[in-house]
Amino acid sequence: MSQTQTTISVILKDGTKKEIPTGSTGLDLAKSISNSLAKKSVGLSVNGELQDLVTVLKDGDRVEIITQDDERSYEFLRHSSAHVLAAAVQNLFKSAKIANGPAIEDGFYYDFEIRDHQLTPEDLLKIEKEMQRIVDEEQKFLQVKVENPDKQIEEFKKIGEKFKAENLNEHKDHNPTLYLLQKDGKTTWNDFCKGPHITTSKQIKAFKLLSISGAYWHGDETREKLQRIYGTSWWSKEDLDAYINRLEEAEKRDHRKLGRQLDLFSIQDETGPGLILWHPKLAFVRTQIENFWRELHSKNGYELVYTPHIARNELWNISGHNEFYKENMFYMNIDDQEYVLKPMNCPFHVKIFDSTRHSYRDLPIRLAELGTVYRYERSGVMHGLARVRGFTQDDAHIFCRKDQFVDEIKGVIKLVDEIYSKFGLEYSAELSTKPKDAIGSNENWEFAEAGLMEALKGYGLNYQLNPGDGAFYGPKIDFKLKDAIGRVWQGATIQLDFNLPQRFDIKYTDKDGSQQQPVMVHRAIFGSLERIAAVLIEHFAGAFPLWLSHKQVIVLPITDRHLDYANKIATALKEKNVRIEIDTRAESVNSKIRDAELEKIPYMIIIGDNEARENNISVRARKKGDLGKFNLEDFIVKIEKEISEKSI
């Protein structure tokens, strides 16, 4: 072409067009806008795809320059950090073969097969050192097109990189690229990868390797066993330190640790794994939560029921659990008959519904139960209170007509909102739709999915859509909880069920006298009391709000001669149903305060000569410290308000 274009035009984030010389990279573009922007830039989003900063731009590209302030920049940093990790490991362990190394939330990992070496924590230090060496050498990340994939696959195979060969083979029709790490123009290492990456290893300012664990190639336990190294990487030392602090804070809040420290619960060898012993303090918290739950459900039109812990095999044949849930169920033999320890409450609730005939006027019927269920969980998956083999679901099943369905779902969402906000838990919703192996008619699924969406929208709730993630028997809404330090937990779930009504053939009599099948909704708000206890322990760092606290107030007399006055105060508070104790030990006040703080008792009342003389009390609040002098009456008003409002 004789008329070579000397400039091209790209479209920036704000929609403006910019002329740049042909052959310009994203970095050139950034420089042309401002030097400070160029300094901060990490990568690009070109037409919606993340690309290297040095990608050559084409005419008409929509370009967004991604700087370190952009969340997406971590994708570049962490994925590149993973490559540096892989290069370091291969430098140190000659037999190491690399598998996969993505960026993950807050960090990255890389999987290796190392036949002749089992990685140890000491290795991590060595590997970090080698990584730092690569970083300091300012090696360049360079993306090159694989011109001849088959030849490249052969080359990978020849050097034993079978995972890379397999990956490339899978992607050979998708413009495969290699990434090279280069020092002084010489390639030191390469990986098959589509990117994106940072420009040079020097940009990795602060990283740390965190742990080693096992994994399988492609997550498939029949495939090769791999060793995985987890790490984290940040744009600055300060960010890394802040992250490490966050990890430490989370560790301090770990409900398993606090459970022991605060004498909340235990799991013991003799009683068995995944089976919880609720000690008095946590049992008290649970009772308070249960009472709150029962009250709220009664108020919202639910009827409370109780059902047995075991049932004949027959029930589970009808429900289909023996077919679909067998590997999670505990079986037992009684009088030559097979019984099952219940893994779910739903078949019982269906049987209650089915025990009488129902008119369309009776619906909706909402049956609720704090039902304890047992599920066989694989031995490696148990986790404190959060993942156990015996747990109590705050379960309910709604049987309603099609025309009532949307309102019922809205009602559940409202309840979820009401309960979570009481604990100061933020939440988000996810809608999972029809999977491949679904049962039930398309018509039913469409009706149900549309209804769930309508209910979510009607409640003004944003949600993430997970296509194909629903249960085989119906679509569902999951709620994710966010605790005080931003961690996410599985919370409430609302599931539609086309299966059980059919299997149990439940019916109601409609206006025109015809028999109709009700819509059935499963829902749990806490999910399980065990899990919500774990969430709340970590959310409150063990410092439960006043209304949940087993011990609400402790009286700390300064010396023995203040015991009488302390008793008077304690008696007065006890009459108001305040849960109160007196620390009568011959210890210093400082020591008593320390113990009360460690025990996380919400209020301390300190009684000495001054208080006895002035006929008042000194109040100290947990964590906040001295609140000063109070009249007893004023203090009672204050805490009664706090309790009745369930303040947090």
Between 80 and 392, whose beta carbon lies closer to RNA?
392
Q: Is 194 in the site for RNA (CB under 7 A)?
A: no
Burial class (CB in 10 A: 0-12, 13-18, 19+), 229: buried
**Given candidates 21, 102, 273, 280, which one binds RNA under the rule CB under 7 A?**
273
Per the listing, tokens 């219940």 go with 342
Window of 179-187, 281-289, 355-363, 378-386 that interacts with RNA by CB under 7 A = 378-386
Q: Is 623 in the site for RNA (CB under 7 A)?
A: yes
Catalytic annotation, pick one of 164, 297, 321, 476: 476
Give the N- to C-terminal CA distance of the chain in Å, as an integer: 73
395 in catalytic set: yes
**Given candidates 3, 6, 333, 590, which one binds RNA under the rule CB under 7 A?**
590
Q: Are 354 and 323 in contact (CB under 8 A)?
A: no
Between 434 and 531, whose beta carbon lies closer to RNA?
531
**Residue type at position 355:** S
How do strand 140-145 and strand 186-192 relate by DSSP bridges?
unpaired
25 dihedral zone (left: phi>0; alpha: psi -120 to 50; beta): beta
397 in catalytic set: yes
Q: Is 594 in the site for RNA (CB under 7 A)?
A: yes
What are the φ/ψ torsions at residue 150 (nearest 5 degrees)?
Answer: -65, -40
Alpha-carbon distance 148 to 83, whole Å? Answer: 23
Q: Three-state SS for 360?
A: helix
- What is the dihedral sign for C-alpha 404, 410, 415, 418? negative
**Given candidates 33, 608, 636, 638, which one binds RNA under the rule CB under 7 A?**
608
Q: Are 390 and 372 in contact (CB under 8 A)?
A: yes
- How many residues sit in the footprint of RNA (CB under 7 A)? 68
**Given candidates 15, 185, 308, 380, which one binds RNA under the rule CB under 7 A?**
380
Alpha-carbon distance 169 to 162, whole Å? Answer: 10
Q: Is 250 in the site for RNA (CB under 7 A)?
A: no
Between 96 and 606, whose beta carbon lies closer to RNA?
606
**Given candidates 2, 4, 118, 355, which one binds RNA under the rule CB under 7 A?**
118
What are the φ/ψ torsions at residue 339 (nearest 5 degrees)?
Answer: -120, 160
What are the φ/ψ torsions at residue 207 (nearest 5 degrees)?
Answer: -140, 165
Alpha-carbon distance 121 to 124, whole Å? Answer: 5
Q: Is 389 in the site for RNA (CB under 7 A)?
A: yes
Per the listing, tokens 């990340």 go with 141
**Given candidates 160, 216, 224, 318, which one binds RNA under the rule CB under 7 A?**
216
Q: Is 85 in the site for RNA (CB under 7 A)?
A: no
Beta carbon of residue 392, minimum distance to RNA (angstroms, whole number): 9
Which residues neighbour 101 within 8 Å (Cβ) at sequence distance 6 or greater? 79, 82, 83, 85, 86, 108, 109, 110, 111, 191
Which residues neighbour 413 within 8 Å (Cβ) at sequence distance 6 or greater? 429, 455, 456, 459, 461, 477, 494
Alpha-carbon distance 529 to 486, whole Å? Answer: 21
Alpha-carbon distance 100 to 110, whole Å? Answer: 6
Q: Is 425 in the site for RNA (CB under 7 A)?
A: no
600 in catalytic set: no
How do strand 303-304 and strand 365-374 relate by DSSP bridges?
parallel
Q: Is 468 in the site for RNA (CB under 7 A)?
A: no
Catalytic annotation, pick one of 61, 395, 497, 583: 395
**Given candidates 34, 211, 245, 514, which one binds RNA under the rule CB under 7 A?**
211
Q: Is 597 in the site for RNA (CB under 7 A)?
A: yes
223 in catalytic set: no
Q: Is 458 in the site for RNA (CB under 7 A)?
A: no
How do strand 580-582 and strand 553-557 relate by DSSP bridges?
parallel
**Residue type at position 610:** N
Window of 23-31, 351-359, 361-369, 596-604 that interacts with RNA by CB under 7 A = 596-604
**Given candidates 19, 510, 609, 633, which one binds RNA under the rule CB under 7 A?**
609
> Which of the residues 480 through 509 are near RNA (CB under 7 A)?
490, 493
Q: Is 365 in the site for RNA (CB under 7 A)?
A: no
The residue count for the chain: 648
My answer on whether omega of the bond before 21 falls inside 30° of 0, hence cis, is: no
Window of 3-11, 220-228, 346-354, 566-574 that interacts with RNA by CB under 7 A = 220-228
Between 453 and 558, whose beta carbon lies closer to RNA?
558
Output the six-digit token pair for 278. 């609720």
Q: Are 114 and 127 in contact (CB under 8 A)?
A: no
User: Of 602, 595, 598, 556, which is closest to residue 579 (Cα–Cα)?
Assistant: 602
Q: Is 558 in the site for RNA (CB under 7 A)?
A: yes
255 in catalytic set: no
Burial class (CB in 10 A: 0-12, 13-18, 19+), 495: buried
522 in catalytic set: yes
Beta carbon of residue 267, minimum distance to RNA (angstroms, whole number): 5
Q: Is 634 in the site for RNA (CB under 7 A)?
A: no
579 in catalytic set: no
**Given candidates 415, 519, 593, 601, which one binds RNA under the rule CB under 7 A?**
593
Q: Is 539 in the site for RNA (CB under 7 A)?
A: no
Beta carbon of residue 277, minimum distance to RNA (angstroms, whole number): 12
Stretch 153-192: interaction string toward RNA, x if CB under 7 A = ----------------------------------------
Window of 49-57, 402-410, 497-505, 600-608 that interacts with RNA by CB under 7 A = 600-608
Catalytic annotation, pick one of 397, 550, 592, 620: 397
Active centre residues (catalytic): 346, 375, 393, 395, 397, 476, 522
Q: Which residues bind RNA (CB under 7 A)?
A: 118, 120, 211-216, 219, 221, 225, 227-228, 256, 260-261, 267, 269, 272-274, 375, 377-384, 386-389, 391, 393, 490, 493, 524, 527-528, 530-531, 558-561, 586-591, 593-594, 597-598, 604, 606, 608-611, 618, 620, 623, 625-626
